[in-house]
A and B are shown apart, each in its own frame.
Chain A
Amino acid sequence: MTAYVMRRLAYMIPVFLLISLFVFMMVRLVPGDPATIMLGQRATPENVAALRQKLHLDAPLWVQYGTFVGNMLRGDLGDSLRQQRPVMDILGERLPATLFLVAYAGILSVLLSAPLATVAALRRGTWVDQVVRLYVLLALAMPAYWIGMMLLQFFAVKSHIFPVAGYGEGFFGHLESLFLPALSMALAVSSILIRSLRNSIIETMGADYVRTARAKGLGGRSVFTWHVLRNSAMATATILAVNLAFMVGGTVIIESIFAIPGIGSLIVKAIFDRDYPIIQGVTLAVGIMVLFINLATDLSYAVLDPRIKY
């Protein structure tokens, strides 16, 4: 297992280098001098000269990139132009809200899709199945910004059931404050999950080992839980993982709507402020988050499927 984790980590290196290269190039692709851009209003000749020296801007591009990666590995992502303090500190403050939101949305999407997929598969071809199908079709096409705004207006602004904005205090405060945003993100993903889970439940129910389990006299519920659902969950877990990455992207919109202090609302504000070090920092943080989500998925197979040995 350890060897596998190490191998998996090594595999992440080239992708990580590409992410860092993309982030590095971002500032260099904006017309103008990178040091002046990164310093913004603080770009006095002395400051520019100092930053040029620090980033080795007079050296060839590959040396600059080396410096960039070196600084990054030491946790130095530069200073925010607007807030005039290290990007790393700001990311540290903002990441927990985003991680909580994504995990919450992931859990909600599973809670939504498992029962719906199960009834659709068990009542295949009936009106129940058709209703679930309609839900799948509409939930996928529903713009997150729209459903987010509608939920916000109906359940927070108009009827005060949920807080209008923010992140809340403590674990249960987060649960309450982030319910509507997490739900807005979970809807589209639940649609994808239901589709996959429904089909794999139907497929698994026809498998030989399910028939064997029935033949040896296991009750319907226990066959379903231990033989059908567990095997169907495998395929769906992969899809959930891919979509957790999708949800990380969705936080950009949802956090802006619900004024959640995460990295999604941070990057949008940074674009308006032309705060490039922040834009770079968030892009990098998102990339690293997704890399680790993918790693966690691969490892979770070992838990879900005892056939996989590392």
Chain B
Amino acid sequence: MAAEATLAVGSAPLSAAAVSQSSDRKRTLQRVLNPLLIAGGIVILLLTLFVVIYPLVSPYNPRDPDFLQPTFAPSSWAHPLGTDNFGRDTLTRLAYGGRTDILIGLAATSVTLVVGTVLGLMAGYYGGWFDNILMRLVDFFLTMPYLVLVIAIVAILGTGVWNIVYAIWIVGWVAYARIVRAETLVASRLEYVEAARVVGMGEFRIMLRHILPNVISAAIVFAMADIVLNVLVTSSLSFLGLGEQPPNPEWGLMVAEARDFFLRDWRLMTYPGIAVLILGAGFGLLGDGLAQALRPKS
């Protein structure tokens, strides 16, 4: 665009072209580093720092009952969020629980993102029988509610957080495959992909170098919502008793355990829910921000 401007008005306004180029770059930078992205990034960064660092500095054990500490203690310097029915420090348990939830969310989502993207890319590029079979599978997986599928698979594999991750691996790739396939169908008809083919580039290279960069942003934006979904699924199953087991801390399980003590101390149930809410809101903002940043300028 800068070059065109220079051509159109001759050589004199070279500096004007430079200015327009720099304001163009500034606008791109504004779009990429938008407030949503920054806000979401900060929330997730702080949350990550909390779950990584706090367990290292906290003197308390998140699992064993602590008979030296008061039970249901109010907030204090020693226990910023108080203690639970076993005298365990709530903030420490939240941090350890967050480790589990965030780790599971990342472990589940990263695999489905990669597998779904690869399968969607191949289905969209090659078409034919592979595409047909894959899409019938996708129809099936998308017909069944995600949570019911995961629960049904956990019923086969047995309870436990890692079995939830395996269940998510089995069903979670579907959404990515569908998104990436649709984007690939569009991208593989683009002129430069045709050009690459005419030049005689290998199919693998075309897919990887020319199509993937065009289709991956939609998958990454979706992944931000998907991480939240997977954390919700994991904590929901733990809440039901099918995931993490006591005395291990996990946000959903902590809500379930606080059930019997609600009238005595409502905070025990409130904090873990707020933790999930912060995680969800953070990735939500991050997803919206990424959608804005990765969208081709219009």
Chain A nearest CB from B160 CB (Å) reads 13
Chain B nearest CB from A145 CB (Å) reads 4
Q: A49: CB under 8 A from chain B? A: no
Of B146, B159, B259, B273, the contact of A143 (CB 8 Å cutoff):
B273
Chain A nearest CB from B240 CB (Å) reads 6
Q: B145: CB under 8 A from chain A? A: yes
A residues less than 8 Å from B242 (CB atoms): 268, 271
Chain A nearest CB from B126 CB (Å) reads 21
Do B143 and A294 have beta carbons less than 8 Å apart? yes
Do B241 and A143 have beta carbons less than 8 Å apart? no
Closest chain B residue to A147, Cβ basis: B273
CA distance A272 to B240 in the complex (A): 10
The interface bits of chain B over 61-75 (1 if a CB of A lies within 8 angstroms of the residue's CB, else 0) are 000000000000000
Closest chain A residue to B242, Cβ basis: A271
A residues less than 8 Å from B136 (CB atoms): 14-15, 18
Q: B269: CB under 8 A from chain A? A: yes
Do A144 and B236 have beta carbons less than 8 Å apart? yes
A residues less than 8 Å from B256 (CB atoms): 145
The interface bits of chain B over 214-247 (1 if a CB of A lies within 8 angstroms of the residue's CB, else 0) are 0000000000000010001001100111100000
- Given A19-B144, A140-B284, does the pair A145, B236 have CB atoms closer than 8 Å? yes
- Given A14-B136, A141-B284, does the pair A291, B143 have CB atoms closer than 8 Å? yes
- Given A143-B273, A146-B255, does the pair A26, B146 have CB atoms closer than 8 Å? no
- Given A14-B136, A19-B140, A248-B145, does the pair A149, B281 have CB atoms closer than 8 Å? no
Of B146, B279, B281, the contact of A246 (CB 8 Å cutoff):
B146
Of B137, B140, B241, the contact of A272 (CB 8 Å cutoff):
B241
Q: B192: CB under 8 A from chain A? A: no
Chain B nearest CB from A220 CB (Å) reads 31
Of A15, A18, A271, A283, the contact of B154 (CB 8 Å cutoff):
A271
The interface bits of chain B over 253-268 (1 if a CB of A lies within 8 angstroms of the residue's CB, else 0) are 0011001001100100
Closest chain A residue to B255, Cβ basis: A146
Chain A nearest CB from B202 CB (Å) reads 35
CA distance A290 to B142 in the complex (A): 10
Interface size class of A (residues with CB under 8 A): 35 or more
Q: B167: CB under 8 A from chain A? A: no
A residues less than 8 Å from B228 (CB atoms): 140-141
Do B269 and A153 have beta carbons less than 8 Å apart? yes
Q: 6 closest pairs, A vs B, by CB?
A: A141-B280, A249-B145, A146-B273, A249-B147, A18-B140, A153-B262
Do A283 and B148 have beta carbons less than 8 Å apart? yes
Do B139 and A143 have beta carbons less than 8 Å apart? no
Query: Main SS of the interface on chain A?
Result: helix
Do B145 and A286 have beta carbons less than 8 Å apart? yes
Q: A22: CB under 8 A from chain B? A: yes
Do B148 and A248 have beta carbons less than 8 Å apart? yes
Do A245 and B273 have beta carbons less than 8 Å apart? no
Q: A236: CB under 8 A from chain B? A: no
B residues less than 8 Å from A142 (CB atoms): 273, 276-277, 280
The interface bits of chain A over 227-260 (1 if a CB of B lies within 8 angstroms of the residue's CB, else 0) are 0000000000000000001101110110010000
A residues less than 8 Å from B146 (CB atoms): 246, 249
Do A256 and B143 have beta carbons less than 8 Å apart? no
Do A150 and B145 have beta carbons less than 8 Å apart? no
Q: B211: CB under 8 A from chain A? A: no
Chain B nearest CB from A68 CB (Å) reads 16
Closest chain B residue to A289, Cβ basis: B145
- Could you list which residues of chain A lie within 8 angstroms of chain B, going by C-beta atoms? 14-15, 18-19, 22, 26, 29-30, 137-138, 140-147, 149-150, 153, 157-158, 245-246, 248-250, 252-253, 256, 267-268, 270-272, 276, 279, 282-283, 286-287, 290-291, 294
A residues less than 8 Å from B118 (CB atoms): none
Q: B182: CB under 8 A from chain A? A: no
Do A26 and B151 have beta carbons less than 8 Å apart? no
The interface bits of chain B over 152-163 (1 if a CB of A lies within 8 angstroms of the residue's CB, else 0) are 101110010000
Q: B252: CB under 8 A from chain A? A: yes
CA distance A40 to B187 in the complex (A): 54
Do B156 and A158 have beta carbons less than 8 Å apart? no
A residues less than 8 Å from B140 (CB atoms): 15, 18-19, 22
Chain A nearest CB from B92 CB (Å) reads 20
Of residues B144, B252, B284, which shows the largest number of chain A Cβ atoms within 10 Å of its Cβ?
Answer: B144
Q: B248: CB under 8 A from chain A? A: no
B residues less than 8 Å from A287 (CB atoms): 143-144
Closest chain A residue to B146, Cβ basis: A249
Of B154, B263, B272, B285, the contact of A157 (CB 8 Å cutoff):
B263
Do A143 and B232 have beta carbons less than 8 Å apart? yes
CA distance A276 to B137 in the complex (A): 24
Of B263, B266, B277, the contact of A138 (CB 8 Å cutoff):
B277
A residues less than 8 Å from B270 (CB atoms): 150
A residues less than 8 Å from B155 (CB atoms): 26, 267, 270-271, 276, 279
Chain A nearest CB from B142 CB (Å) reads 8
B residues less than 8 Å from A246 (CB atoms): 145-146
B residues less than 8 Å from A141 (CB atoms): 228, 276-277, 279-281, 283-284
Closest chain A residue to B288, Cβ basis: A137
A residues less than 8 Å from B276 (CB atoms): 141-143, 146
Do B156 and A26 have beta carbons less than 8 Å apart? yes
Chain A nearest CB from B206 CB (Å) reads 32
